[in-house]
């Protein structure tokens, strides 16, 4: 693949930073200790102790990529790789069993003069270079962050939980109503038991979820009356308004059957013409009680159309339960109102078996209303996750798919697996 000049520049910058910020090597560290010993700054006993207990350079944190830190500047680089395989047992159509590089992402992020943060993340999956996060953030206000750039709009608990940490290989079907990443300005604030966020957005560079996007306004409010290490209660609501551009005057919704290897969407509204705007709403809830957790969301979407054309409404929902057989708990972060990394009690290969998680999910979506027949779909997913350590995970999902499209019922079973690593 031939990458554009902009991407080559991107790689060059990352390489340059990596070289400039490399830690002092082991030999140089030993030379410094010897100088301190010979000058009498440290005793021979202290020298021997420091030599034995020599640690990695300050700022290097394995679980969050390679990190370097100085008084005025912090920098880290990392990424993730997700490799999928799927087999579809279907009767009516060929969904395309096979393999897929689901995500191949590289990011660099940092902080300048304490209050200014930045992040740039790109994805190379499917031989396509796509921009994900690309923003500057100011955190100088108390418990408040202002972002400018391309980032996720504050909408949906599952959407705002990274794909690295969701219990199933794919997010539930109603996630099609989530606006995803777009360019805009957002404000994020939190208290001891709540968060509030909102922003104004245009269109993103290729990661928008819904066709026909113009300008939009999105807001989210969450409550967490309980958020302890192994206990959490989450409640939330979010609303996203989007005006449809005059050039397109249409909007569409579609969803794959919670499997990314196939390119086919079993439910699809097609273009909904004469659209003026639409409003998507979601209600969120989650409970964590030790190794057990339950999470669910309900989505509702209204598309407003021009005079003489009826408005149309769509909806979807999901609910799932998760159980860690090895005793871990899902990691809830009340400051962001989302879930984060799982850390096994005992890593595999280090005297333990890692963390094992069972999950069961029911999801449904209805894209039929008035003269729009996008179809209905119900899925049941059984999942098994093995967290080897905090950075490596293997996943297996069986998805039972039942659709009611325009041309009769369709039943499909998807068997799929994933290997995931962060660095």
pLDDT exceeds cutoff 80 at 28: no
Instruction: Say how many residues make up the chain.
Output: 423
Rounded Cα–Cα distance for residues 65 and 18 (Å) = 12
More confident call, 132 vs 1: 132
- Closest by Cα among 158, 184, 181, 161 to 295: 158
Query: What does the radius of gyration of the chain's CA atoms come to, in whole angstroms?
Result: 24
Tens-place pLDDT, residues 268-294: 999 999 999 999 999 999 999 999 999
Contacts of 14 (CB under 8 A, 6+ apart): 77, 106, 108
Cα–Cα distance measured from residue 105 to residue 123, given in angstroms and rounded to the nearest whole number: 4
* pLDDT, tens only, 333-376: 999 999 999 999 999 987 899 999 999 999 999 999 989 999 99
Spatial separation of the C-alpha atoms in residues 114 and 406, rounded to whole Å: 56
Are residues 341 and 61 in contact, defined by beta-carbon separation less than 8 angstroms? no
Q: What is the pLDDT of residues 207-231, one digit of tens each?
A: 555 555 578 999 999 999 999 999 9
DSSP class of residue 173 equals G
Q: What is the pTM of this model?
A: 0.84
| Sign of the CA dihedral running 94, 95, 99, 105 | positive
- CA distance linking residue 404 with residue 420, whole number of Å: 33
Decide: 204 and 345 in contact? Cβ < 8 Å: no
Give the list of residues 6+ apart from residue 371 with CB closer than 8 angstroms, or none.
310
Q: What average pLDDT score do residues 312-316 get? A: 97
Provide φ and ψ at 341, rounded to 5°.
-60, 140
CATH number of 62-422: 2.40.160.10
Alpha-carbon gap, residue 279 to 315, rounded angstroms: 12
Q: In whole angstroms, what is the distance from residue 24 CA to residue 33 CA?
A: 13
Q: Could you report how far apart the first and last alpha carbons of the chain are, in Å?
A: 24
Phi, psi for residue 49 in degrees, rounded to 5: -65, -45
Contact 178, 159 (CB under 8 A): yes
pLDDT tens readout for residues 126-179: 888 999 999 999 999 999 999 999 999 999 999 999 999 999 999 999 999 999
From 27-41, 226-240, 305-319, 368-382, the region with the lowest mean pLDDT: 27-41
CA–CA distance, 101 with 110 (Å, rounded to integer): 27
Query: What mean pLDDT comes out for the span 53-59?
Result: 45
Q: Could you tell me the residue ranges of all domains in the chain?
A: 62-422
Distance between CA 154 and CA 309 in Å, rounded? 31
Whether residue 69 has pLDDT greater than 80: no
User: In degrees rounded to 5, what are phi and psi of residue 4?
Assistant: -70, 160
| DSSP one-letter code for 177 | G
């Amino acid at each position: 693949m031939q990458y554009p000049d902009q991407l080559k520049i991107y790689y060059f910058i990352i390489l340059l930073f990596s070289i400039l910020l490399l830690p002092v090597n082991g030999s140089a560290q030993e030379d410094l200790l010897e100088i301190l010993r010979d000058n009498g700054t440290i005793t021979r006993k202290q020298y021997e102790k420091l030599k034995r207990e020599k640690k990695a350079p300050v700022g290097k944190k394995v679980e969050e990529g390679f990190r370097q830190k100085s008084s005025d500047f912090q920098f880290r680089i990392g990424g993730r790789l997700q490799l999928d395989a799927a087999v579809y047992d279907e009767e009516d159509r060929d969904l395309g069993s096979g393999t897929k590089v689901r995500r191949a992402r590289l990011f660099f992020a940092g902080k300048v003069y304490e209050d200014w943060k930045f992040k740039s993340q790109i994805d190379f999956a499917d031989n396509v270079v796509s921009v994900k996060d690309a923003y500057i953030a100011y955190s100088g206000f108390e418990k408040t962050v202002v972002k400018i750039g391309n980032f996720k709009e504050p909408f949906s608990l599952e959407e705002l939980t990274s794909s690295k940490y969701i219990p199933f290989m794919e997010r539930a079907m109603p996630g099609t109503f989530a606006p995803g990443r777009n360019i805009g300005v957002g404000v994020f604030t939190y208290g001891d038991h709540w968060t509030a966020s909102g922003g104004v957005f245009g269109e993103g560079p290729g990661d928008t979820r819904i066709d026909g996007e113009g300008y939009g306004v999105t807001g989210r409010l969450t409550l967490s009356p309980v958020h302890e290490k192994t206990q959490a209660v989450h409640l939330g609501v979010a609303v996203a308004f989007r005006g449809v551009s005059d050039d397109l005057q249409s909007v569409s919704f579609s969803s794959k059957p919670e499997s990314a290897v196939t390119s086919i969407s079993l439910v699809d509204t097609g273009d909904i013409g004469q659209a003026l705007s639409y409003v998507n709403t979601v209600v969120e809830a989650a409970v964590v009680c030790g190794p057990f957790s339950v999470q669910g969301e309900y989505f509702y979407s209204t598309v407003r159309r021009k005079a003489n054309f009826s408005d149309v409404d769509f909806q979807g929902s999901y609910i799932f339960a998760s159980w860690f057989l090895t005793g871990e708990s899902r990691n809830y972060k009340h400051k962001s109102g989302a879930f984060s990394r799982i850390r096994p009690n005992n890593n595999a290969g280090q005297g333990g078996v890692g963390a094992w998680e069972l999950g069961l999910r029911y999801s449904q979506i209805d894209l039929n209303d008035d003269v729009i027949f996008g179809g209905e779909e119900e899925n049941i997913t059984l999942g098994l996750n093995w967290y080897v350590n905090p950075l490596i995970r293997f996943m297996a999902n069986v998805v039972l798919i039942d659709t009611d499209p325009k041309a009769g019922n369709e039943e499909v079973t998807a068997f799929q697996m994933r290997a995931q690593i962060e660095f």
